[in-house]
Structure 1
Amino acid sequence: MKEKVVLAYSGGLDTSVLIPWLKENYDYDVIAVCINVGQDAELIGLEERALKMGVSKVYVENVKDEFMKDYVFPMIQSGAIYESKYYLGTSIARAVIAKTLVKIAEKEGAVAICHGCTGKGNDQIRFELGIAALAPHLKVIAPWRIWDISSREEEIAYLEERGLEIPVKKDDSYSRDRNMWHISHEGLDLEDPWNAPLYDKILKLGVSPEQAPDEPTYITLTFTEGMPTHLNGEEMDPSHLLEKLNELGGANGIGIEDIVENRVVGMKSRGVYETPGGTILYKAHEELEHLTLDRETYRFKQEVALEYADLIYNGKWFTPLREALGAFVTSTQKVVTGEVKLKLYKGNVIPQGSQSPYSLYSENLASFTTGDLYDHHDATGFINLYGLPLKVRALMEASHKNNN
């Protein structure tokens, strides 16, 4: 009986070439695994194409609910944003994909997992760190770091020589990665950071702010312990809620980011990301935290968000540090319950009000009218003590100036 290899299969050119290559170079039974994190329409006909290529079995795993509940929502709670712009759409999906690949490899008794990531990208790191953390006994095969094929033209020739179908996209297409959380666009004219993005040509989830309606859209989001549960008073499961927010956000030109980012491997890359629903959720969640978290907790949580984002981006979801930071984040979310009103207008998410049973805002304290909880005279002693280091330093400097 032949040994088995699980192939992370997307149905595109790169992963299609891997099927005959694995069979010829390793004599493995190839099991194709496609993990649905929101590609949906892109998966039509995928199973049939994989079988024609020569795989022994095909899995198409729908993990959309797990992706949202166990990965995306905890990320929202953390406030993680990479380099102030990137909502980590591709990065966070790689964690659940790696976990699912391992699950199927163990179910099938496979000896290896193969991926089609290039040696320049981040995904090779994310997949392999995830596999190492969850199943260190499994071998990882990364053909782009092994074989002599160096271009799409050579991949096409490889399939033609074997009389296999060539799943080629249009020559003018961007390199895209799509899931239910976002879509990324890279390549072609975007490789020059001086070029303005051609949004009319690029965008898939919505329109540019200029093309958005002149009338705003008003929404209300409800959170329970940091998790979004209702949109405009209607309870929704995670996937449905995000789908609706993607529609509303996309129609209003929200969530478009043009970024030059630092890859894990050291080089910079430029891309355009669309995250309409995610941008709305981040903004709403942040507004509720402003209302319910004390100053010290919120400040430290901002520091945690930077580290959390790096861990996700760098493929370190399944690490003790990420889990420990996750425990801190979960603890902070106990009071992040309430409602947030937002106005969506031409690329902007504009707060319209928030309320929570755990609100730390006190109208009696904040009002200019003197109340029972605050005596204006108390500020005199506070300022004297708070400014004491400044006063001592100024007296010291004056003394030195006088002595000289």
Structure 2
Amino acid sequence: MLAYSGGLDTSVILKWLQTAYGAEVVTFTADLGQGEELGPARKKAEMLGIKPENIFIEDLREEFVRDYVYPMFRANALYEGVYLLGTSIARPLIGKRQIEIAEQVGADAVCHGATGKGNDQVRFELAYYANNPDIKVIAPWREWDLNSRTKLIEFAEQYQIPIAKDKRGEAPFSVDANLLHSSSEGKILEDPNVEPHVDVFQRTISPEAAPDKPTIIEIGFEKGDAVSLDGKPLTPAQMLTALNALGRDNGIGRVDLVENRFVGMKSRGIYETPGGTILYAAHRAIESITVDRGAMHLKDELMPKYAELVYYGFWFSPEREMLQVAIDKSQECVTGTVRLKLYKGNVIVIGRASPYSLYSQDLVTFEDDHGAYDQKDAAGFIRLQALRLRTLAMRKRKTGK
């Protein structure tokens, strides 16, 4: 059961499995909104001898956003404070569905095209084992000797695997994309001190080229999930698609990041998450008026651990599921609307309202608060908070320590 994109690498892997293992191969291609036509993947698999009934191409966009992206965004998850985890969150779904189809067709092994240097090998295989502890995993990049593009192309030519003209040369960088983001890594991007060329960007125009007039939008939330845009109800995938278009046109969502991979090395990536960047800002805004201080601060303390679990591939771990229960509990009243101004790469919150708002103008006003808050109470509160500091200061006065 091969996770198959139809590109050069996985097409070579398909034929390699047939020759090295003598295996009957079943292919699985997931549509997660990567923006590519998936019909050619089917034709290529058929050309390589795969029976039509053994070619699975599935549209998983709604499930991806509803069951993976939205729960993660309820947590406001950012890896190392910057990365919105666009690639990381896609792998558990692909791995889970691959195992389900493998069991459906009676496959005794699953295979992925991730290299032995990256994070994706870990994410795929943890998803496999979490859903089938006895499955055999084949990772060609850790087994074969096709360790250069020249060897891959030679293998493809030997077995008459078609290669697009633009794929014969050395790819300037690698790209991964889905409905949440696109990422570009490797080759010309490996030097973190060199600004990426304009051609690297897949999903956004530059902020400098964005319109001089801001775009105003309103996002409606229910229990922490975005459900409407400018008053129009949208499904999760429709919402992210619409926000992606708005983000693209306003130059929003570009990140140039040097991150710490799970396998131990640092890598530089160019990430574009236009809709996700808007969604993140809007979600934090609606939380700001609906979530209690203690709950919000605890969420912010838990978030780095949650993000790390997603990045490392532990989506199906009990600790991630435990954190999710706590996070989802915090979202029970995260309902309302947020108005945003999108302008030249910026997402600016300009309004938020909720029937469950904890914000009270009577409490915060500098005008007469009609007895809602007695300012004299603050004196005792401060003295109690200062008690240990005063005790330390007295000791220091006596002992110098």
| Greater CA drift, 361-370 or 123-132 | 361-370
For residue 393 of structure 1, report the CA deviation from its aligned partner. Answer: 1.7
Secondary structure of the residue aligned to 2:227 is: strand
Match of 1:242 among 240, 245, 259: 240
Q: Which residue of 2 aligns with 1:397?
A: 396
**Could you list the per-position Cα deviations for residues 124-168 of structure 1 after superposition, in whole angstroms to 9, with x for gaps in the alignment?**
000000000101121000111111111111011012112232246
**Could you list the per-position Cα deviations for residues 30-79 of structure 1 after superposition, in whole angstroms to 9, with x for gaps in the alignment?**
01110110124342311001111122321101111000100000000011
* Aligned counterparts of 2:124 and 2:151: Cα–Cα separation in 1: 25
Aligned-partner residue type, residue 116 of structure 1: G
Equivalent residue pairs, number: 396
Asked whether the 8 Å contact 1:13–1:168 carries over to 2, the reply is no
Q: Which residue of 2 aligns with 1:94?
A: 91
Match of 1:9 among 4, 12, 16: 4
**Could you list the per-position Cα deviations for residues 344-366 of structure 1 after superposition, in whole angstroms to 9, with x for gaps in the alignment?**
00100001010111111111110
Match of 1:62 among 50, 59, 64: 59
Matched, 1:107 2:108: no
**Could you list the per-position Cα deviations for residues 364-402 of structure 1 after superposition, in whole angstroms to 9, with x for gaps in the alignment?**
11012343221111111111111111222222222336x
Q: Which residue of 1 aligns with 2:18?
A: 23
Match of 1:271 among 248, 269, 272: 269
Secondary structure of the residue aligned to 1:35 is: strand
Matched, 1:164 2:195: no
Asked whether the 8 Å contact 1:288–1:340 carries over to 2, the reply is yes
* Aligned counterparts of 2:2 and 2:399: Cα–Cα separation in 1: 74
Asked whether the 8 Å contact 1:19–1:55 carries over to 2, the reply is no
Counting only pairs closer than 5 Å after superposition, residues 256-295 of structure 1 correspond to structure 2 as: 256-295=254-293
Secondary structure of the residue aligned to 1:270 is: strand
After TM superposition, the score normalised by the length of structure 2 is 0.96
Structure 1 residues 362 and 294, CA gap change in structure 2 (3 angstroms): same
Matched, 1:183 2:178: no
* Aligned counterparts of 2:245 and 2:351: Cα–Cα separation in 1: 22
Secondary structure of the residue aligned to 1:156 is: helix
Secondary structure of the residue aligned to 1:358 is: coil
Matched, 1:174 2:173: yes
* Aligned counterparts of 1:387 and 1:282: Cα–Cα separation in 2: 37
Q: Which residue of 2 aligns with 1:383?
A: 382
Asked whether the 8 Å contact 1:245–1:277 carries over to 2, the reply is yes
For residue 193 of structure 1, report the CA deviation from its aligned partner. Answer: 0.6
* Aligned counterparts of 2:370 and 2:239: Cα–Cα separation in 1: 42
Q: Which residue of 2 aligns with 1:232?
A: 230
For residue 25 of structure 1, report the CA deviation from its aligned partner. Answer: 1.6
| Greater CA drift, 345-354 or 154-163 | 154-163
Asked whether the 8 Å contact 1:12–1:168 carries over to 2, the reply is no
**Could you list the per-position Cα deviations for residues 254-294 of structure 1 after superposition, in whole angstroms to 9, with x for gaps in the alignment?**
00000001111001111110000000000000011111111
Aligned-partner residue type, residue 307 of structure 1: K
Q: Which residue of 2 aligns with 1:36?
A: 31
Secondary structure of the residue aligned to 1:342 is: strand
* Aligned counterparts of 1:38 and 1:364: Cα–Cα separation in 2: 47
Q: Which residue of 2 aligns with 1:201?
A: 199
Asked whether the 8 Å contact 1:193–1:260 carries over to 2, the reply is yes
Asked whether the 8 Å contact 2:4–2:27 carries over to 1, the reply is yes
For residue 338 of structure 1, report the CA deviation from its aligned partner. Answer: 0.6
* Aligned counterparts of 1:395 and 1:138: Cα–Cα separation in 2: 66
Q: Which residue of 2 aligns with 1:139?
A: 136
Counting only pairs closer than 5 Å after superposition, residues 291-306 of structure 1 correspond to structure 2 as: 291-306=289-304
After TM superposition, the score normalised by the length of structure 1 is 0.95
Q: Which residue of 2 aligns with 1:83?
A: 80
Aligned-partner residue type, residue 326 of structure 2: F
Match of 1:125 among 107, 116, 122: 122
Identity of aligned residues (%): 48
For residue 190 of structure 1, report the CA deviation from its aligned partner. Answer: 1.1
Aligned-partner residue type, residue 13 of structure 2: L
* Aligned counterparts of 1:16 and 1:141: Cα–Cα separation in 2: 15
Asked whether the 8 Å contact 2:109–2:135 carries over to 1, the reply is yes
For residue 169 of structure 1, report the CA deviation from its aligned partner. Answer: 4.0
* Aligned counterparts of 1:322 and 1:168: Cα–Cα separation in 2: 44
**Could you list the per-position Cα deviations for residues 200-230 of structure 1 after superposition, in whole angstroms to 9, with x for gaps in the alignment?**
2122212111111111000000000001000
For structure 1, which runs of at least 5 residues remain unmatched after alignment? 1-5
**Could you list the per-position Cα deviations for residues 291-310 of structure 1 after superposition, in whole angstroms to 9, with x for gaps in the alignment?**
11111111110121111111
Matched, 1:318 2:313: no
Secondary structure of the residue aligned to 1:119 is: coil
Structure 1 residues 95 and 176, CA gap change in structure 2 (3 angstroms): same
Asked whether the 8 Å contact 1:112–1:138 carries over to 2, the reply is yes
* Aligned counterparts of 1:397 and 1:19: Cα–Cα separation in 2: 73
Secondary structure of the residue aligned to 2:110 is: strand
Q: Which residue of 2 aligns with 1:3?
A: none
* Aligned counterparts of 1:163 and 1:36: Cα–Cα separation in 2: 27
